[in-house]
Amino acid sequence: MPETSPETVPGTTALIAGGGALPAHLARAMEAAGIPFLIAQIEGFAMDEADRWPVETFALERLAVLFDLLHGRGVTRVVLAGTIRRPRLDPERIDPRTAQLLPRILPYLAQGDDGLLRAVIALFEDDGFAVVGADAVAPDLLPAPGVLTGVAPSKADEKDAARAAAIVEGLGAVDVGQGAVVAQGLCLAVETLPGTDAMLAFVAEAAAGCRPDPKGARGVVYKAPKPRQDRRVDLPAIGPATIEAAHRAGLAGIVLEAGGVMVLDRPETVARAEALGVFLWVREP
């Protein structure tokens, strides 16, 4: 189903929040734009700055109850944002109406993220909500192509980025991950379910000595969405912590697919990159 633009959807927006910084960024953006919204926090997760706004907490076992709440509050569109882990559902908490919905997502719990998220989107859409991406609420999250830092990638870095892009495309085709680290043409790590931080920590701790030439290219981390993923949810994102993790891993820079990776707290992210000598390149696919 095509994404609906913010201008064409009247009513209140529900921010379905997982953990981390992204939900708060979107809440601030909607607040600044005068967009009426409410926050529904998934039980067991904590978004940053949660005490700044009223928050409704809901259990996944009572999803139908959430739908009733959203309709009652005049919600017409939803944005799903923030980090979540695979839910462990408590059968005793599932209400009868939600029990009728769960068979549509249970088969996907043991599969990749993309199929599960598509099933969740379908549940919201079938109940009458328009599902939009985070970038529809805060377009500034997606930077224009180009190098965002004073430090630019070298020719060797560009080659490593191209190699990493091919690896991420291959991973995405089987719904595995959205990132890879390549140095001197060799893949040092790929992103799997634990995420980007775990991948970079592995490079810092276990793969630091894998570069053939200690004086050669230090390598890059490349981030991109999966080739066929629904870009309304689970777009990859980086922030200041990603810059610091890449620096600890000894990498020269971070490469993002243009139009497909969000940059949170961009001024601080770029400032940290400049301070640490890490380049930040938004690369055309």
φ/ψ of residue 215, rounded to 5: -100, 0
Residue 32 is given by DSSP the state: H
Q: What pLDDT score does 143 carry?
A: 96
Instruction: Kindly state whether residues 57 and 19 are assigned to the same domain.
Output: yes
Distance, in Å, from the CA atom of 130 to the CA atom of 32, rounded to the nearest integer, reads 21
Structural domain including 118 reads: 6-138
Structure tokens at 198: 């775990």
**How far are the Cα atoms of 51, 141, 148, 152, 210 from residue 144, in angstroms, in the given order?**
32, 10, 9, 16, 33
Residues in the chain: 285
Q: What pLDDT score does 6 carry?
A: 39
Structural domains in the chain (count): 2
Structure tokens at 208: 């630091």
172 belongs to a structural domain: yes
Q: Which residue has the tokens 């949170």?
A: 264
Distance, in Å, from the CA atom of 48 to the CA atom of 37, rounded to the nearest integer, reads 17
Instruction: Kindly state whether residues 147 and 269 are assigned to the same domain.
Output: yes
180 belongs to a structural domain: yes
Q: What pLDDT score does 87 carry?
A: 67
1 belongs to a structural domain: no
Task: Give the CATH number for residue 150.
Answer: 3.40.140.80
Q: What pLDDT score does 71 carry?
A: 96
Other Cβ atoms less than 10 A from the Cβ of 149: the count is 21
Instruction: Kindly state whether residues 126 and 181 are assigned to the same domain.
Output: no
Q: What pLDDT score does 10 carry?
A: 58
Q: What pLDDT score does 119 carry?
A: 83
Per-residue pLDDT tens over the stretch 126-177: 999 999 999 999 999 999 999 999 999 999 999 999 999 999 999 988 888 8
Instruction: Kindly state whether residues 53 and 127 are assigned to the same domain.
Output: yes
Q: What pLDDT score does 113 carry?
A: 61
Distance, in Å, from the CA atom of 37 to the CA atom of 11, rounded to the nearest integer, reads 9
Instruction: Kindly state whether residues 155 and 242 are assigned to the same domain.
Output: yes
Distance, in Å, from the CA atom of 69 to the CA atom of 73, rounded to the nearest integer, reads 6
All residue ranges of the chain with pLDDT < 50 are 1-9
Structure tokens at 89: 């559902």
